[in-house]
């Protein structure tokens, strides 16, 4: 696994986005917006992993 600062930060961001999305689902926020936020917030880490 690449331990570059960018990969570390993007993984941390993805984990925080997942936590926020869980809280938003509990709060009964708009599902479509939560799903889009989840996809966009986690795509950086996923894209970086594929390029290794």
What average pLDDT does this structure show over 26-52? 83
pLDDT value, residue 16: 95
pTM of the prediction? Answer: 0.77
Helix (H, G, I), strand (E, B) or coil at 28: coil
Q: Which residues contact 45 (CB under 8 A, 6 or more apart)?
A: 7, 10, 11, 13, 14
Q: pLDDT grade, residue 48 (50/70/90)?
A: low
């Amino acid at each position: 696994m690449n331990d570059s600062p960018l990969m570390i930060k993007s993984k941390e961001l993805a984990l925080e986005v997942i936590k926020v999305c869980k809280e938003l689902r509990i709060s009964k926020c708009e599902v479509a917006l939560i799903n889009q936020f989840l996809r966009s917030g986690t795509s950086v880490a996923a894209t970086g992993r594929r390029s290794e």
